[in-house]
Structure 1
Amino acid sequence: MKEIFSKRLKSARMQAALSQDQLVEKMGNIVSKNAISKYEKGEMMADGGILLALSKALNVKPDYFFRPFTVQIEKIEFRKKKKLSVKDEKAIRQTVTDVLERYLEVEQFLNIESAFTNPIAEYKIASFADIDHSALALRSKWELGLNALPNVIDLLEDKEIKVIEIDAPNEFDGFSGWADDRIPIVVINKNFNIERKRLTALHELGHLLMVSDEKIDDKEKERSCYQFAGAMLLPGSTLKSEIGESRSHISVSELIAIKETYGISIQAIMARAKDLEIINSLQFLNFRKWISKNRTEQDLGSYMGIEQAFRFRQLVYRAAAEEVISLSKAANLSNQKLAEFRQDFIAL
């Protein structure tokens, strides 16, 4: 128990992005930094009063500190900007692990087993044509057709991929990985706009599914995943049916219409047009100069769909409604106070 407590305490502190000194201060200096250090090394156990203070300071339930670790996330492809601190990166990893543990726990209560198989494992990626081909193959195997994808997150969750949205700094884009070497996970920043969420989710899907040539370096792999995401959102034949095989000029109004229909940013549309040789490199360069003053694409349309990860919450509600778990346990899994959960939950 002492070993679990020590690891959980350090995990919760890292999730909160607090140093030991900052945690002591947040607890009102009722313990010393030396005591926190001993707790985390498993050399000392906190009493009931300190445990409650730790729980309050770290915004976790007291029983969190005694929950066994059940998930190991591996093969992580972490996308971030250089400005993201090491502390924030560790906090993100710990937060994702915590959410995933609760996600898998509720699935166990409902006897749900994940059985994911990579539908495009046989496609080896060595060129842009391979990327386009693999995206078309995935659309075919998932029976998606060539039209717009209404909800990317729903799609991934329906296909046994765990999608986790977290409140993270803008410097964090997303990451993908495998839990216990068998469960695919995609993590995205919930603060992004809808088009960026969709592109990021599919970019991370590319990391999970595409089997790249060993000669491809990390930078080229990132580019390949970006191209894969664009191909999933806007297949080549679909884009060409919208704007034609070759263009010397494209109007902003056309781009906005495509953005609002297919849920893909204007910047990603133009990158796709360049890759498909609908426009040339000079046209794309001129576009990038023009859009550089408005990277967020303000007043340039918006996709009107919804992109949110609902499945975990739905499973918790289902388990509570069927009385597989108590409301108290459901609140615990949702990381809510019981009163807050009762407000959200109505069983018929």
Structure 2
Amino acid sequence: MGFNYRQLIFAREYRGLTQSELAKNIVGLSQSNLSKYEKGFGLLSDEMVLKIIDFLGFPESWLDHNISNLPENAHYRKRTTITKKIKTEIEYSIRLIGYLVDQMSNSIEWPEVRLVPLDIEEGYTPEIIAKNTRKLLRILPNEPVKSIFTLLENFGIIVIEFEITEKFDGVSFITDKGNPVIILNKSFTNDRKRFTLAHELGHLMMHDFPIPYHRNIEKIKENEANRFASEFLMPAEFIKNSLFNLKLSSLGQLKSYWLTSMASIIRRAKDLSCISESHFTYLTIELSRDGKKKNEDGFVFIDEPSLFIEAYKLHKNELDYSDLELSNAFNIPVDVIQRFFNTSRLRIIK
């Protein structure tokens, strides 16, 4: 029948099973034959392939698809200590979310993408691109970025937040059908969410062009995205004067206005040469006392994303789909629908 063996790999790894673990659960399946099949050698009968996919809880029609949303095209903001198993589960979850976004586009219209990226390889700096992005989003030069979820969604970026391991901040990518998506950790503080959103927006605005190979390219792109986020949230022209000889007592007021963390304000002061290296170290140490760096004083408002869940509700309420009917229409297990829509959460154990 010519099944797509890559879809079987997808289903197995999404379920968190190794080849050995899967083979032990399927009568007549050897790890050796499964390994060869997953390399494209086709040594399994159609009957065995269907038995495997049924055990994994995926429909037969799943095998006819070709989902890419390739992880290598995604921009991650994560810690280096994240385990391979967690990274794999996150990556396949992200690819499924991208697939769901594209499937829903067959029956609904996502907002038009109204942001135009600039190629950083053509000489634009992250700061110039951040300023241009603020103009595109119609944010006044001296104003903080407010209602950031709504702002990005109105300009065509689909934003989704889930509870993920604390070692993962966020990811941005373009789906197979060209829809820009940002996913971030729901459990983080509001100021951290805002910086992560700005960071991932920076990737979408700067890094979706072919880039010449460089062994440190990921580190370079992360630094550029941080520079973009800092300028996007705290424009140098309008924050710089308040950062000279920065005092701890000033941080609360600055945080309240710019809606960014005290730690990021201190970093901004250093990057703009408003304070010395020693003063930066002093402020950072003082902020870290009594755990205040992780749990800063001062509330930062943030709105909530709605596009992804509203699209699901539209399918349910207006188009009259049940979860089972959606799973059949999208050729995925019903538990995937319930995981990503009903709970709006992605739980991955450390």
Q: TM-score, normalised by structure 1?
A: 0.76
Contact map agreement 2:120 2:206 (CA 8 A) in 1: no
CA contact (8 A) 2:252 2:298 kept: yes
Aligned partner of 2:301: which letter?
A: M
Q: What does residue 95 of structure 1 align with?
A: 93
Please state whether the residue corresponding to 1:109 is helix, strand or coil: coil
The percent identity for this pair of structures is: 23
For residue 105 of structure 2, give the secondary structure of its aligned residue in structure 1. Answer: helix
Deviation at 1:100, TM superposition (A): 0.8
Shift of 1:148: 2.7
Counterpart residue number, 2:107: 109
Residue 302 of structure 1 aligns with which residue? 299
Tell me which of 201, 206, 211 is aligned to 1:205.
201
Match of 1:141 in 2: 136
Cα distance in 1 for residues equivalent to 2:79 and 2:109: 39
Identify the match of residue 316 of structure 2 among 303, 320, 343: 320
- Residue 196 (structure 1) aligns with: 192
Please list the CA deviations of residues 223-266 of structure 1 after superposition, one character each: whole Å capped at 9, or x if unmatched. Answer: 221121122122234435xxx445324134x3234334433211
In terms of mean alpha carbon deviation, does 321-330 or 91-100 score higher?
A: 321-330
Indicate how the Cα distance of structure 1 residues 328 and 291 shifts in structure 2: closer, same or farther if over 3 A, else same. Answer: same
Q: 1:68 aligns with which of 65, 70, 75?
A: 65
Aligned counterpart in structure 2 of residue 150 of structure 1, from 138, 146, 156:
146
Q: In the superposition, relative to structure 1, how do residues 124 and 32 fare at CA in structure 2: closer, same or farther (>3 Å)?
A: same
Matched to 2:99, the amino acid is E
1:13 aligns to what?
12
Q: Is the 8 A contact 1:125 1:131 kept in 2?
A: no
CA RMSD of aligned residues (A): 3.9
Q: In structure 2, what is the equivalent of residue 247 of structure 1? A: 244
Query: Aligned-pair distance for 1:139?
Result: 0.9
The one-letter code of the counterpart of 1:195 is D
Residue 258 of structure 2: aligned partner: 262
SS of aligned partner of 1:173: strand
Q: How many residues align?
A: 328
The alignment's TM-score, normalised by the length of structure 2, stands at: 0.75
Q: Distance in 1 between matches of 2:279 and 2:201?
A: 29
d(CA) in 2 for partners of 1:272, 1:279: 9
In structure 1, the gaps of 5 or more residues are 56-60
Check conservation: 1:175, 1:187, Cα contact below 8 A. yes
2:345 corresponds to: none
Q: How many Å apart are 1:96 and its aligned residue? A: 0.8
Q: 1:337 to 1:169 in 2, by over 3 A?
A: closer
- Cα deviation for residue 104 of structure 1 reads 1.0
- Paired with 2:27 and 2:252, the residues of 1 have a C-alpha distance of 57
In 2, distance between residues paired with 1:116 and 1:260? 29
Higher mean displacement: 72-81 or 197-206: 72-81
TM-superposition CA deviations, 1:295-326 (whole Å, max 9, x none): 7532523323234x431221121133222755
Q: Summarize the Cα distance change of 1:264–1:114 in structure 2 as closer, same or farther, 3 Å threshold.
A: same
Number of the residue aligned with 2:272: 276
Report the CA distance between 1:133 and its aligned residue: 3.2
Distance in 2 separating the partners of 1:75 and 1:322:
34
| Alignment match, 1:226 | 226
Shift of 1:50: 6.0
Residue deviations 1:180-211 (CA, integer Å, cap 9, x gap): 38433333233332222221121122122137
SS at match of 2:3: helix
Spell out, residue by residue over 1:274-310, the C-alpha distance to the aligned partner (whole angstroms, 9 max, x if none). Answer: 2233323321122223344537532523323234x43
